[in-house]
Chain A
Amino acid sequence: MTLLGEFALWISLPVALWGMWLGYSGGRTQRGDLVLSAERSVYAVFGLLAIASAGIMAAFLQHQFQYLYVYSYSNAELEIFYKITGLWAGQRGSLLFWALLLGFFSVLAVFQNRSKNREFMPYVTGVLQTVMAFFICVLLFADVNPFERLDFTPANGQGLNPQLQNYWMVIHPPTLYLGFTAFTVPFAFAIASLLSGRLDARWIQLTRKWILTSWLFLSVGIVMGMRWAYLELGWGGYWFWDPVENASLLPWLTATAFLHSIQIQEHRGMLKMWNMSLVLMTFLLTIFATFLTRSGLIESVHSFAQELRIAYIFLGFMGSVLAACVVLILYRLPQLRSENQIESFISRESAFLFNNLILLGAAFAVMWGTMFPLISEGVTGQEISVGPPFFQRVNFPIGIALLTLVGIGPVIAWRRATRRNLQKNFATPVIVGALVAAVIWISGARHGLALTVWGISAFVLTVIATEFWKGTRARSRIEGEGYALAFFHLISRNRRRWGGYIVHVGIVIMFMAFAGAAYNVDERFHVEPGDRVDVASPLGHVYTLTYEGLSINLNNGDRNLLWQAIATVSIEKNGEPKGIRTTEKRQYTTNVGDPPMTEVGVRSTPFEDLYLILSALDDPQAAVRADSEAQGLDLQVLVKPLVGWIWFGCLTLVIGTLVALWPSVDGRRVAGAVPADAAPEPAAVGTT
């Protein structure tokens, strides 16, 4: 099976190249047979990559340690679940997995459009197969072939990094990859639009759902990564401005900008050129993110590759794509001119434009900070690392400006808005925002930045709530419906608008959570069994923690565990018992030379997390021997206000995106099926 998989990977390359060539030439010569063959090659490549992936999985399951990849990321004792997910545990496998997902989305795109949008499809197929051929080339020729064999067959594998043995880590990379790869489809349609010369908003309408889906996967993937870091890395944070975190944030920022700017093109026929550039930029950034993760160019907790060859291949590909796109855009420049102009500085359009500029500013800052060490090394020979303080200083003002715009945008009318209306619409939200900030200030919180964020958040939430309220009330009055029904109809009649607002609510909730970090409590204690320590929460109550003692497990359980030292801590909140939490040190057989790993204990409540870290055992050797005198340890206690809101905000974001994605009444109208009673469109819509 594994040999067959290796063979399948090899022949997928000529098939992909075939599809790429026939796609372009079939489009140029308008020959349907060539195009059909190209489209079939998309299915064939996906099938071949599925065989290749099955081959790798079989190698994992059958303990074929003569394969370097299987040897490096598993051993015989590994749980079967992690053997299956071994496909994306390391660089080699995850590149194959990337290609497999790209194949899946390509199949979906080709199948969806088998009898529509035919004028785009030859080029779409060509572009999809170009990207595919590139990834297969990387797999085969950049020293990252997952089927590479050792000269001998080791008795056992090296095992999987214990930190990766976590279900968040199992679903986080695939989710991100789904986001990355799905974005290839909008990119392919954009290029097809340039190549075929059909440059109206059609490609945007066709790919809106692809863009949203990709954006959703990116968002969820990023937050899952945060969740993993929070629970597994054991330092109490969720974001460290690590190059790979940044790399996944970059396409998210440009994709977010794109989601907003396409609305200007759809409503006003403007920004065609800008949207082309954004989709190109986002696509390149997804490739860049894959490259950063997989090339090992920049030090990061995520990077496991050191080969430079892959770096040159990636850079070469990105350079060629960029050059080709610039040439194409210049060639079509006359047709990319705007149909309209912005009528007023104060208008929805200009709010969207500001939003775009800010998001791109953020992307540029993050990019600069991420690449700076590399650039400085190239120029001065010295690698200067840029730490979180840089990113924070740059991104805090950007974040606040963005948050404010989330509140301003919805209230500004398209085309032109007047100052008087703005004053009228903003009065209540501004007062609410100021009141909330004042109340928090009076209750004792004095952190300027956090207060600003919370005040603005209250302002934005008031704006959005008012929008919902006004819409529901108008609908209820005009249609004579009850409020609940009116609310439901309001959302279902224009899912894009209201789904978008729900996403905004999710983002605001997450911003509020980030600001909560200003009130993190971090205390360190040395404790012996029976010791009680007090930690004051910023919310006013006091936690009393009792260290109950240490228990040791030796060679016990699965997952290659050598020993496990579990510290039990009982928790009281203002004297009231709140159960126990454990925090551990673990040593695995697979990393005996390294310091033991930490497992944290977390007690989550809606407003704060209590986060316990076993920082160090006084005497690990004695402790492992279960010496009752050696139970002393360093305990780090963190109180982290509002952390749980991040996950809650992300959930809200998912719900909002799903609302916007759901097939809508709007969509059916576009298809031409206008119900007769909806004919006086403007009047009917005035009610929504």
Chain B
Amino acid sequence: MTLYVGVALVTAAVLLFILYPIVKGQHASLEREDDELTDSEARKRLALLALRDVEYDFLSGKLDEEDYRSLKNDLTSEALAALEEDEAARESRGQGEHLDIEAEIALMRASLKGGLDCRECGFSNETGSLFCSSCGVSLSSPIAG
């Protein structure tokens, strides 16, 4: 007897649980949510990741200076393109509320475009660099920039 009660209870609970959304019209969301990376953001991220790899590889002596420069040039323009594309996509979506991210992008662009030229070797570094990525000289002296 207890068995039948148990069986009936389990069956009823399962049926109620899985059929309820259909009967009551409860819907699960199927939309891509806002905080997820968009395609253009993903491309931006990939470009920045590549820049980071090149920077690290050069810093740890795995890349020749010549290769480093040419790679970095290519990747910087790729990254800039990705940033601009992302910005355009963002504007077209009308997401004005992401001010902090806008500011961040502006900063990134500034750092990618206008950098500190090294007074020793002339290499153009990102803003915020303390030392030259090429020759290692300190960039903080007044001549730099």
Contacts and interface: CB of A to CB of B under 8 A. Distances in A.
A33 B27 contact: yes
A582 interface: no
Interface residues of A, number: 70
B117 to A, nearest CB: 14
Contact of B55 (A31, A44, A202, A685): A685
A474 B125 CA distance: 17
A467 B36 CA distance: 34
B62 A411 contact: yes
B8 to A, nearest CB: 10
A420 to B, nearest CB: 7
Interface in B100-114: 100-101, 103-104, 107-108, 111-112
A11 B9 CA distance: 13
Contact of B28 (A4, A39, A51, A688): A39
Contact of A425 (B62, B71, B103): B62
Contacts of B49: 266-267
A293 B141 CA distance: 69
Contacts of A389: none
A679 B125 contact: no
Interface in A95-148: 115-119, 121-122
Contacts of B10: 4, 7-8, 11, 48, 51
Contacts of A40: 17-18, 20-21
20 contacts: A3-B3, A8-B10, A32-B30, A33-B22, A33-B25, A37-B20, A41-B18, A118-B29, A118-B30, A201-B42, A266-B46, A413-B57, A416-B63, A416-B71, A417-B62, A425-B62, A474-B59, A674-B104, A676-B103, A680-B108
A671 interface: yes
B118 interface: no
B11 interface: yes
B54 A37 contact: no
B99 to A, nearest CB: 11
B108 A679 contact: yes
Contacts of B11: 11
A684 interface: yes
B30 A30 contact: yes
Contacts of A682: 48, 51-52, 55, 111-112, 126
B135 interface: no
A32 B61 contact: no
A414 interface: yes
A79 interface: no
Across the A-B interface, the 9 shortest Cβ-Cβ residue pairs? A32-B27, A413-B57, A36-B21, A36-B28, A679-B107, A680-B111, A683-B126, A413-B62, A680-B128
Interface in B57-84: 57-64, 67, 71
A383 interface: no
B26 A33 contact: yes
A44 B127 contact: no
Nearest to A478: B130
Contacts of A115: 29, 33
B89 interface: no
B137 interface: no
Contacts of A31: 27
B103 A36 contact: no
A586 to B, nearest CB: 42
B28 A121 contact: yes
A3 B107 CA distance: 67
B144 interface: no
Interface in A639-688: 670-672, 674, 676, 679-686, 688
B91 interface: no
A43 B48 contact: no
Q: Which residue, of B6, B14, B67, B133, has the highest number of chain A Cβ atoms within 10 A?
A: B14
A672 B30 contact: no
Given A200-B42, A421-B63, A33 B21 contact: yes
Interface of A: 3-4, 7-8, 11, 15, 18-19, 27, 30-37, 39-41, 43-44, 47-48, 51, 115-119, 121-122, 200-202, 266-269, 411-418, 420-421, 424-425, 467, 470-471, 474, 478, 670-672, 674, 676, 679-686, 688
Nearest to B52: A685
A683 B129 contact: yes
A473 to B, nearest CB: 10
Contacts of A420: 64
A671 B37 CA distance: 8
B45 interface: yes
Nearest to A114: B28
A424 B65 CA distance: 14
Contacts of B126: 680, 682-683
Q: Which residue, of A11, A37, A683, has the highest number of chain B Cβ atoms within 10 A?
A: A683
A425 B61 contact: yes
Contact of A679 (B61, B67, B111): B111
Contact of B60 (A27, A32, A474): A474
Contacts of A32: 26-30
A201 B31 CA distance: 18
A119 B67 contact: no
A424 B32 CA distance: 48
Contact of B31 (A47, A118, A417): A118
Contacts of A413: 53-54, 57-58, 62-63, 67
A686 B60 contact: no
Contact of A683 (B14, B31, B32, B111): B111
B101 A674 contact: yes
Contacts of B53: 267, 413-414
B50 A676 contact: no
Nearest to A679: B107
Contact of A37 (B22, B46, B129): B22
Given A683-B126, A686-B59, A670 B67 contact: no
Contacts of B26: 32-33, 36
Nearest to A672: B35
B97 interface: no
Nearest to A31: B27
A471 to B, nearest CB: 7
B132 to A, nearest CB: 11
A352 B131 CA distance: 32
B28 A672 contact: no
B1 interface: no
Contact of B131 (A44, A48, A121, A478): A478
